Structure 1
Amino acid sequence: TVAVSERAEQASTLRQSARSRSTERAELKGEFANTPQKYVKPDPREGEQWDMAHIKADHAHEITDGSRKVLVGVLDSGIDADHPDLAPNIDVNNSVNCTDGGTIDRSPTGWQPTTSDHGTHVAGTIGAARNGIGITGVAPNVRMASVKVVNDDGFIYPEYAICGFMWAGLRGMDVTNNSYYIDPFEFWCQDQANQAAVVEAVGRAVTWSTKKGTVHVAAAGNSAYDLSRKTTNASSPNDSTPIERTINNGCLDIPTELPEVVTVSSYAQIGTSNETQLSSFSNRGKNVIDVAAPGSRILSTIVKDNGYGLKSGTSMASPHVAGVAALMKSKHPGWRPARVIQQLKAQADERPCAPQQTSSSPGALCTGSPSNNSYAGHGMIDALDAVRR
């Protein structure tokens, strides 16, 4: 989702985890002692990225930063081409603007941000370069294409997203990240003809590009809603006057609930510990959520002053998974999307329904087993396993 919740919790600076990175490295040494490793010099603000340490991206980088052959499409509000932490990895030739009625605009400035730095923040999490400045992304050596699907008013209409998915397939992108839901409906109901047509059209674009080899990753949404038990919704249409609607499980948050799309929930750090719990805003749902990733108080790149800032939302969780998928494709270039998705789930670290998740979190309580529950799906994404298995 283009996260409303991203505005929360951005004012203060991150505190490092109480567990030092050196301690974690010692603990993990035995786990991958036989894997070829390299010396990795951290970028200056890498120590503030609790999220990267939590998914073991720092350890993954001791093996690989990813392959230049891998291309990730960032379907969002554009990427700041001038940001020094992003410029080395932006693939200009494959970047495009889809917000002119869903037509292709490849002009040099068309795909860059105009009113939002959302896409720039997302891009930093996926692939900020390891270049001695700022932060480091999950996959700091892969290429990223800006696929602009958010217009200047902040809306992502169906034709924009369809254009983006088709472009990804046409250009041979390995992965796309989709931190939004398609406007103007938070849920598109298949028992209403006009809305069903949109579900069908977007679904066809996703299926076609998946067959071309693209893995699609999407944010679960920020309404603290149980996507497996839909009843009512009062947020749509969001470009006019919203009305309260009775909905059912045939009403889908798209693209995240479409088949073949990896659905990502958001987790937050508990204090300064290495423990996490479901972010208060995150959507959830048994057999809807596939995997979880850090999404609260995430430090990444922003447009203002080519700087860095904190944002929160499932929008911030999804790019961690897209980055891990890019690392996986770097290690296994022949894997098709179904295999990548299966391995993302299989390699995830279990996050059982802990006591705090059943007593203090807003919205529906956690249900399910440690290996598959409504909050974390199959578990927390694991970057290290993606490159060593």
Structure 2
Amino acid sequence: MTTSGNSPYSSSGQPETTGRYLVLLDTDNIDDGLRAMDDSAGIRHVAHSADFRDHSPSGEQLASEDSLVFDELGVAVVTMEPGQAQALNAATMRGSSVIAVEPERVVRAIEDPDPDGYLPAPPGFAETDIITIPVDYLKGYRDAVNHLVDRLLPKEQEAESVLGRGGAVADGSITWGLDVTKASTSQYSGLGLKVAVLDTGFDLTHPDFVGRAVSSKSFIEGEEVQDGNGHGTHCIGTACGSKLPEILPRYGVAYNSEIYVGKVLSNEGSGADGGILAGINWAIASGCQIISMSLGAMVLPGQNHSAVYENVGRRALRRGSLIIAAAGNDSFRQFGVIVPVSHPANCPSIMAIAALRPNLKMAPFSNGGINRNGGQIDLAAPGVDVYSSWPMPTRYSTISGTSMATPHVAGLAALHAEATGARGRELWAQLTQRAWRLSLPSRDVGSGLAQAPD
């Protein structure tokens, strides 16, 4: 079996790792955990995120430190030999303040699921099942099936029929995502809320964001926050874009929120767990109530979620920060293939978001909650033909993915937080309780389509 050049898996089907490790510590006894790291594995001279500006290191500092603990999260990123990692793992069995040790993964932007060329086969599935099928053939097959369904069930396409060019409703004033989530008619705007988007950065020169409160930091060595990819700018536009952009349609949900840009993925769209955790640590230390992450790594059937990220999700909720992440684009539902929710969205304490088409049916690429131990879908949101901001001079782009669904929910979370004052787990409950129930399995859409407060 071969793998795609963009796959976060090696040819053996195992997650791609960096050689570093994540060490989960007891937040009430971080110093005890650091002493245990020294006693068990000889790891000394651990830097603290609290010692750096904004409570997080820059990309260069993150790369240069062999051992660094994120004080807000109780997680250390450590360069060590496998034997040292084994010694630390043994310490977890003895009931020390070291709770878990995991390899650091490579994590990537969850990209538009319709690339040119050939679609890669997910690890664990036979290569001949999918990888040799040209995209043009799959598109033709998909279009033929959709045409037949539309003829037999014409009511299913009613939602799509109101769309104009670029994913906007027919009058061109708003995108279909803002329409079906009722964001366009909500009286709330995210005023006073801080929304962090951890992605490929942001086009700080985009004219639709002039005058907005934007804080930013890069956690990628050698790269500034300025977005050389487009993925981050698109996600920020959906979550926090202007109510009155210079060129319609309106595409942003929480248009009065404060924007926090964490560049945790390179301009090529790749990063690692350490950078993601640095961005989360920075967002929590900055008081961000919502953290949006359209990134991940594929998870295999039966694979457990990360103990480190699960604890980070819990600790964030206790601090009043809700982490929202993309479920992943690895499925081929037209062939009956549903892939589990991606890392880190598969953690029970991180909200996982699936993608819907304009007719409110499942996007064929959207992953599902098929793993028993975590990995559930919590909500669904618009994720096909989503129009939003893009780096200049292109300015706008229409793309698809669970990456596009996730910032819809992040923006809606800001509206609910403004409307109710809810934070953390209470905010999670508000979002799921207000969701519009759909005639689709909870495995695929969780509580349903996310909705704005009135």
Please classify the TM superposition score into its range, dividing by the shorter chain length. 0.5 to 0.7
What is the alpha-carbon distance in structure 1 between the residues aligned to residue 300 and residue 434 of structure 2? 30
Instruction: Give 1:99's aligned residue.
Output: 220
Q: 1:122 aligns with which of 219, 230, 235?
A: 235
Task: Check 1:343–1:307 CA distance in 2 against 1; reply closer, same or farther (3 A cut).
Answer: same
- Contact 1:297–1:310 (8 Å) recurs in 2: yes
* TM-score normalised by the chain length of structure 1: 0.68
Q: Structure 1 runs of 4+ off > 4 angstroms?
A: 6-9, 15-21, 185-191
Instruction: Give 2:193's aligned residue.
Output: 70
C-alpha distance after superposition, 1:134-154 (max 9, x if no partner) = 334111111111101102332
Instruction: Give 1:50's aligned residue.
Output: 176
C-alpha distance after superposition, 1:187-213 (max 9, x if no partner) = 59878xxxx8xx233333333332221
**SS of 1:164's equivalent?**
helix
124-133 or 173-182, larger mean C-alpha shift: 124-133
Q: 1:5 aligns with which of 90, 97, 112?
A: 112
**SS of 2:387's equivalent?**
strand
- Contact 1:293–1:380 (8 Å) recurs in 2: yes
Please state if 1:112 is matched with 2:232.
Answer: no
Instruction: Give 1:277's aligned residue.
Output: 361
C-alpha distance after superposition, 1:287-319 (max 9, x if no partner) = 711111000000000013151110100000011
- Contact 1:98–1:149 (8 Å) recurs in 2: yes
From the CA coordinates, give the structure whose radius of gyration is larger: 2
Q: Equivalent residues in 2 for 1:131-280 (5 A)?
A: 131-134=244-247, 135-182=250-297, 186=299, 199-224=306-331, 253-269=342-358, 275-280=359-364
1:332: Cα distance to partner? Answer: 2.1
Point out which structure has higher relative CO (alpha carbons under 8 A, 6+ apart): 1
Identity %: 26
1:218: Cα distance to partner? Answer: 0.7
Instruction: Give 2:447's aligned residue.
Output: 378
- Contact 1:169–1:214 (8 Å) recurs in 2: yes
Q: Which amino acid aligns with 1:58?
A: S
- Contact 1:188–1:253 (8 Å) recurs in 2: no
Q: Which amino acid aligns with 1:64?
A: Y
Aligned length: 294
Instruction: Give 1:347's aligned residue.
Output: 434
What is the alpha-carbon distance in structure 1 between the residues aligned to residue 172 and residue 290 of structure 2? 24
- Contact 1:8–1:311 (8 Å) recurs in 2: no
Q: Which amino acid aligns with 1:314?
A: T
1:326: Cα distance to partner? Answer: 0.5
Instruction: Give 1:12's aligned residue.
Output: none
Instruction: Give 1:323's aligned residue.
Output: 411
Aligned Cα RMSD in Å? 3.3
Q: Which amino acid aligns with 1:111?
A: V
**Structure 2 regions of 5+ residues with no counterpart?**
1-107, 117-157
Q: Which amino acid aligns with 2:346?
A: E
**SS of 2:357's equivalent?**
strand
- Contact 1:295–1:317 (8 Å) recurs in 2: yes
**SS of 1:317's equivalent?**
helix
What is the alpha-carbon distance in structure 1 between the residues aligned to residue 113 and residue 259 of structure 2? 22
* TM-score normalised by the chain length of structure 2: 0.59
